[in-house]
């Protein structure tokens, strides 16, 4: 028997080891997406892959990609304890999970500060356009999905810019306008830009280098920095990875997007209104007396939430999003109450949608052992 094993790949930066508290390093984990969800969430089924404090994220991903590709090419022979026979496992990439900054880096994207701030579609525009009525409305319409085959071309354009004069501002404008910033090769680009500025700098009493000599010196340094590799081997290894579309196969990260995003900031505004009206004590009393039977939590910790209202974490915001309309119905304006009602519905819908999409994908994944069909079927069910 031959079984396809879809892998959920997770990478993030962590800190706080025993010897050096703030020694930042990156770690990669994997999970078998064929497992039932209640088993998938258990620590035992999360497989540690690698972690290094000195390697960049894309360096770790390059090794991960090569490891999976080699295993998929030859297969992994193991024994099926249920049927008591040897089986062949073919690993494939399902999707990459992570928080928003890490997902942007894996897509060779500069993040939310760009004019085109999405690493899935080309939504966005200049600051003036997004502040206008038409521009703001366009942020909520369906846009064209990014083509990952064009992303390396934008990176190559930045390499070409680095060999020319007065390019720092041009590269910044390119990153801002396209949203493409490849962390795997940005160090080479920065080195070439700084070297070009140094070579073109005129020192009194010396003859300035011609532009042709500067370009020749930069090209020589460029070849040295490549260390015998091609430019394609230097950029993000996940771009063009078989069975994986980096701009599409990245589920929305709920924690920072919703709970530590929309819910957190609206909580801060609501607290501001309550403190301004001197109703925080009344709110704390309401929170103390709320029924928690439907929350699967023994208590909400009203004293902690109201005392450390600016330092809450995921579990607090997840619970608050569900009970806030019952706590503030007579304390805030109706517009604020209506907003919290919508937020509560949003949180529930996102959680149920993610569960249904994952289950739908796992059912469809048995239809074919082709990893590309896995990716496409997951993409379609996630969009729906």
CA distance to 164, 200, 205, per residue, from 212 (Å): 10, 11, 21
- Quick one: average pLDDT of 141-152? 82
Residue 329 has pLDDT above 80, yes or no: yes
Residue 381 has pLDDT above 60, yes or no: no
Where does the pLDDT of residue 22 fall: very low under 50, low under 70, confident under 90, or very high at 90 and above? Answer: low
Where does the pLDDT of residue 359 fall: very low under 50, low under 70, confident under 90, or very high at 90 and above? Answer: low
**Exposure pattern of 272-309 as b/e (b: 16+ CB <10 Å)?**
eebeeeebbeebbebbeebeeeeeeeeebbbeebbeeb
Can you say how many angstroms the Cα of residue 228 is from the centroid of all Cα atoms in its chain?
A: 31
Contact between residue 94 and residue 6 where contact means Cβ atoms under 8 Å apart: yes
Q: Please write down the long-range contacts of 97-101, taking CB distance under 8 Å and 24 or more positions apart.
A: 97/8, 97/9, 97/10, 97/250, 97/251, 97/253, 98/10, 98/11, 98/12, 98/250, 98/253, 99/12, 99/253, 99/255, 99/256, 100/253, 100/256, 100/257
Residue 363 has pLDDT above 70, yes or no: no
Q: Report the chain's mean pLDDT, rounded to a whole number.
A: 82
Least reliable range by pLDDT among 81-90, 258-267, 373-382: 373-382
3 beta partners: 89
Domain boundaries, the chain: 2-97, 127-234, 254-353
The 25-32 sheet, strands edge to edge = 46-52, 25-32, 2-14, 85-97, 76-80
User: What is the helix (H) or strand (E) element at residue 88, kind and residue range?
Assistant: strand 85-97
- Quick one: average pLDDT of 113-120? 83
pLDDT above 70 as % of the chain: 86
Q: How many CB atoms lie within 10 A of CB 314?
A: 14
Q: Give residue 246's pLDDT.
A: 82
Least reliable range by pLDDT among 141-145, 161-165, 229-233, 356-360: 356-360
In angstroms, the CA 108 to CA 336 distance is 38
Tell me what percent of the chain is helix, strand and coil, each rounded to the nearest 5: 55, 15, 35
User: What is the helix (H) or strand (E) element at residue 136, kind and residue range?
Assistant: helix 133-138
Instruction: Please tell me which of 9-13, 147-151, 209-213 the model is most confident about, judged by mean pLDDT.
Output: 9-13
80 beta partners: 85
From 155, 193, 187, 190, select the one nearest 174 (Cα to Cα): 155
Q: Give residue 378's pLDDT.
A: 39
DSSP-based three-state secondary structure for 289: helix
In angstroms, the CA 304 to CA 91 distance is 45
In angstroms, the CA 264 to CA 55 distance is 33
Inter-axis angle of helices 168-178 and 186-200, nearest 10: 150
- Quick one: average pLDDT of 27-43? 87
Q: Give residue 376's pLDDT.
A: 47
Residue 384 has pLDDT above 50, yes or no: no
In angstroms, the CA 196 to CA 166 distance is 9
Residue 383 has pLDDT above 60, yes or no: no
- Quick one: average pLDDT of 36-65? 86
Residue 181 has pLDDT above 60, yes or no: yes
**HSE-CB of 136 using CA atoms within 13 angstroms:** 3
359 beta partners: none
**Phi, psi angle pair for 333, to nearest 5°:** -60, 160
Q: Give residue 347's pLDDT.
A: 82
DSSP-based three-state secondary structure for 55: coil
- pTM (2 decimals)? 0.71
* Each residue's pLDDT tens digit, 192-236: 888 888 887 766 666 677 778 888 888 888 888 888 888 878 888
Where does the pLDDT of residue 174 fall: very low under 50, low under 70, confident under 90, or very high at 90 and above? Answer: confident
Q: Give residue 184's pLDDT.
A: 84
Contact between residue 97 and residue 117 where contact means Cβ atoms under 8 Å apart: no
* Each residue's pLDDT tens digit, 286-325: 998 888 777 766 778 889 999 998 889 888 898 898 889 9
Per residue, the 3-state secondary structure of 146-200, as one string, reads CCCCCHHHHHHHHHHHHCCCCCHHHHHHHHHHHCECCCCCHHHHHHHHHHHHHHH
- Quick one: average pLDDT of 244-248? 82
Residue 267 has pLDDT above 90, yes or no: yes
In angstroms, the CA 3 to CA 167 distance is 51
Q: Give residue 205's pLDDT.
A: 63
From 269, 116, 232, select the one nearest 181 (Cα to Cα): 116
Q: Give residue 332's pLDDT.
A: 92
From 254, 270, 245, select the one nearest 120 (Cα to Cα): 245
Structural tokens at position 340: 């919290």
* Each residue's pLDDT tens digit, 61-74: 888 988 998 999 99
């Amino acid at each position: 028997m031959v079984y396809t094993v879809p892998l959920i790949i997770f990478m993030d930066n962590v800190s706080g080891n025993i010897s050096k508290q703030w020694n930042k390093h990156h770690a990669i984990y994997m999970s078998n997406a064929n497992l039932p969800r209640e088993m998938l969430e258990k620590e035992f089924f999360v497989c540690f892959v690698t972690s290094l404090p000195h390697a960049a994220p894309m360096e770790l991903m390059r090794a991960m990609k090569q490891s999976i590709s080699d295993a998929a090419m030859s297969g992994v022979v193991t024994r099926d304890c249920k049927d008591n026979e040897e089986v062949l496992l073919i690993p494939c990439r399902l999707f990459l999970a992570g928080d928003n900054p890490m997902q942007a880096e894996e897509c060779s994207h500069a993040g939310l500060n760009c004019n085109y701030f999405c690493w899935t579609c080309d939504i966005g525009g200049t600051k003036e356009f997004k502040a206008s009525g038409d521009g703001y409305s366009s942020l909520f319409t369906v846009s064209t999905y990014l083509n990952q085959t064009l992303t390396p071309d934008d990176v190559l354009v930045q390499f070409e810019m680095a060999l020319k004069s007065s390019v720092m501002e041009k590269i910044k404008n390119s990153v801002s306008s396209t949203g493409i910033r490849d962390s795997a090769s940005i160090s080479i680009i920065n080195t070439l830009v700084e070297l070009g500025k140094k070579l073109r700098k005129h020192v009194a009493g010396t003859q300035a280098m011609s532009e042709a000599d500067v370009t020749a010196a930069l090209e020589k340094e460029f070849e040295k920095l490549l260390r015998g590799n091609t430019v394609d081997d230097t950029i993000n290894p996940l771009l063009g990875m078989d069975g994986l579309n980096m701009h599409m196969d990245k589920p929305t990260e709920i924690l920072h997007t919703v709970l530590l995003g929309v819910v957190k900031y609206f909580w801060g505004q609501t607290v501001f209104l309550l403190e301004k009206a001197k109703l925080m004590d009344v709110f704390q009393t309401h929170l103390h007396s709320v029924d928690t039977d439907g929350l699967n939590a023994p208590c909400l910790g009203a004293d902690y939430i109201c005392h450390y209202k600016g330092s809450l974490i995921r579990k607090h915001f997840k619970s608050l999003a569900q009970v806030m309309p019952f706590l503030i119905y007579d304390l805030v304006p109706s517009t604020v109450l209506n907003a919290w009602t919508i937020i509560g519905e949003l949180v529930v819908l996102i959680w149920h949608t993610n569960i249904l999409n994952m289950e739908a994908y796992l059912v469809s994944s048995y239809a074919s052992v082709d990893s590309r069909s896995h990716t496409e079927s997951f993409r379609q069910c996630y969009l729906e």
